[in-house]
Every structure is written in structure tokens, then in C-alpha cells.
């Protein structure tokens, strides 16, 4: 219910913004950021990108086990001026540019669950499986420059099992204005108590089944992180993309028996064909 109410609020704001949006500037991408998929080539209407990515990542949050995973990449997009509506994987969303300096994003998607079998070493045995759930993600970026060289970023993740917030700064490298090149973001991540305990808490039942110490976390700082994105256009149709993420957990998270590592990391690379 919390997600539905928040989504209604976002759509109401979007309706008002559509009526006051400035005329579209003829440019190949909405914003020149490598982390933002834009297959429209600056044209209104449908756009498609399809590909695959390979990720090397932690088996679960706090894990010291790693593995490779193949993920679909790309999206189906519809552009209308300074607005792009998209369907990407298990997420449906809207992205809009306002006053050339605000990039707003809202999406509804799935939050990954956690299974005991995610740990090959049996470190999740007795904790039970967590099912996937819907989540609403709201994000805003505010650029300090007309070419999106520096910006502030904020993100709010609203789910049935808690909320997470992110605040940070970003920097784009390279002289390109077509969405290629690289960017880096430095962020601080916060969570409420419900979200914290979903990933790192241990209730009495889980403690008895797993022999791990009962653990309850309060809301607050979750981690500091750094995120790097890269995109290169081989030709008109083919794109290479890459991402590297490092997240260092706060003290309360590191002290949880579920945390086998003080950090989480992920590296991915992929290829997309734009139709």
C-alpha cells in the first residue's frame, strides 16, 4: 500500500510537469551520462536496445563468496520530448529532464530476495528464504553545469520491508556529449531499521535454527560507496558498457553475524545492440 500511494504521488507530479515542460532541444541523448541508457538518438517515438551483461559480484549482501552471473541488458523506450518512458528487465519507469539541470527518475521494479542456497558454504542455513518484492525507486540528479560535468544525486527506495536512501556527488569525464565516456559517483547510503534487519538482522527463530547470535539493527548509516560507469559506441548500433561498484559497510552492519566481509563489490561488462 505504501508503494501504491507513493507511485500515485509521483504520477500526479509528472502530469503537472508534462504540462509545463520546455520545448525539446535536438540532441542525441537526454543527458550525456554513461550510466543512463538512451537509445532514442534524440528522436521522439520508440527505441530498442537489446544485449547481455556478465557480472562478478558478491553472492549476497555481506558475503565473502563471489560468482559470475549473466544478466539481460537494454530496454524498450518511448521518448516524448524531454521525457522517456521505459521497460528494462523487471522494471518499468519514467525519466524526465527539467530546466536542463534536473534529471528525475521514477520506476517500479522487483527487489531481489535471498535464499539459503545463495551461500555455497552454508552460511545462510537456518535463516530461511526471503521472497522477491515490489519496490518504488525515486531518483533526482541536479547538475551544476550545462554540460552535466558535476552533479548531486539522491535516491529513495521504498519497499514493503523498509526504505533506503542515498545521497552523493558525481563527476563525468571525457569531452563527449553523446552519453559515452565515463563517470564516477561517491555516495553515502542510509537505511531504516526494517530495511537494515531484512538484510543483516537475525530474529529469535532464525537464531535458534542457525546458531547465530540474535541481532537487531537500528536505522542510520549503512555504507559509503563509489560507483564507476563506462560506455563506448563501437558504431551506430553496437555499444559496450561497464560498471564497477564498491560499498564499505558501517560498523553496525559489519558487526552482524551475517556479514562475512566488511564490503560489497561488483564488476560488470556487457554489449548492447541498438535497433
Distance of alpha carbon 117 from alpha carbon 93, whole angstroms: 31
CATH number, position 35:
2.40.230
Domain membership of residue 69 as a residue range: 2-274
- Mean pLDDT value of segment 160-188: 96
Q: Angle at CA 35, nearest 5°, toward 9 and 242? A: 140
Per-residue confidence band for 90, with pLDDT thresholds at 50, 70 and 90:
confident
Contacts of 255 by beta carbon, 8 Å cutoff, 6+ apart: none
Number of domains forming the structure of the chain: 1
Residue 243's pLDDT is what?
98
**Percent of the chain surpassing pLDDT 90:** 85
Per-residue confidence band for 23, with pLDDT thresholds at 50, 70 and 90:
very low
Task: List the one residue out of 233, 262, 258, 229 whose CA is nearest residue 243.
Answer: 229
Name the phi and psi angles at 129, rounded to 5: -95, 145
Residue 253's pLDDT is what?
98
Residue 132's pLDDT is what?
86
Q: Which three cell numbers stand for residue 37?
A: 541508457
Q: Tell me the pLDDT of the chain averaged across its residues.
A: 91
Residue 7's pLDDT is what?
45
Pseudo-torsion of CA 151, 187, 110, 237, nearest 10°? 50
Kindly tell me if the per-residue pLDDT of 17 is higher than 50: no
The neighbour count for residue 256, using CB atoms within 10 Å, is: 22
Residue 4's pLDDT is what?
42
Least confident of 87-91, 220-224, 236-240, 268-272: 87-91
Distance of alpha carbon 164 from alpha carbon 136, whole angstroms: 11
For residue 166, the SS3 value is strand
**Percent of the chain surpassing pLDDT 70:** 91
Per-residue confidence band for 27, with pLDDT thresholds at 50, 70 and 90:
confident
Amino acid at each position: 500500500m505504501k508503494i501504491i500511494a507513493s507511485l500515485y504521488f509521483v504520477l500526479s507530479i509528472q502530469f503537472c510537469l508534462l504540462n509545463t515542460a520546455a520545448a525539446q532541444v535536438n540532441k542525441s541523448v537526454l543527458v550525456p551520462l554513461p550510466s543512463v541508457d538512451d537509445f532514442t538518438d534524440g528522436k521522439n517515438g520508440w527505441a530498442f536496445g537489446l544485449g547481455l551483461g556478465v557480472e562478478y559480484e558478491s553472492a549476497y549482501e555481506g558475503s565473502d563468496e563471489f560468482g559470475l552471473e549473466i544478466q539481460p541488458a537494454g530496454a524498450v523506450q518511448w521518448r516524448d520530448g524531454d521525457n522517456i518512458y521505459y521497460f528494462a528487465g523487471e522494471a518499468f519507469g519514467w525519466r524526465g529532464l527539467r530546466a536542463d539541470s534536473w534529471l528525475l527518475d521514477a520506476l517500479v521494479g522487483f527487489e531481489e530476495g535471498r535464499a539459503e542456497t545463495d551461500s555455497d558454504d552454508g552460511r545462510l542455513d537456518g535463516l530461511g528464504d526471503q521472497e522477491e518484492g515490489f519496490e518504488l525507486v525515486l531518483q533526482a540528479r541536479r547538475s551544476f553545469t550545462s554540460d552535466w560535468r558535476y552533479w548531486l544525486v539522491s535516491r529513495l527506495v521504498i519497499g514493503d520491508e523498509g526504505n533506503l536512501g542515498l545521497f552523493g556527488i558525481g563527476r563525468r569525464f571525457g569531452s563527449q556529449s553523446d552519453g559515452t565516456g565515463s563517470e564516477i559517483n561517491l555516495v553515502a547510503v542510509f537505511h531504516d531499521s526494517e530495511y537494515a534487519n531484512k538484510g543483516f538482522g537475525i530474529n529469535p527463530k532464525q537464531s535458534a535454527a542457525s546458531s547465530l547470535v540474535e541481532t537487531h539493527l537500528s536505522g542510520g548509516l549503512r555504507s559509503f560507496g563509489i560507483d564507476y560507469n563506462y560506455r563506448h559506441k563501437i558504431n551506430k548500433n553496437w555499444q559496450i558498457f561497464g560498471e564497477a561498484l564498491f560499498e564499505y559497510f558501517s560498523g553496525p552492519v559489519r558487526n552482524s553475524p551475517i556479514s562475512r566481509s566488511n564490503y560489497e563489490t561488483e564488476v560488470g561488462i556487457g554489449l548492447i545492440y541498438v535497433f
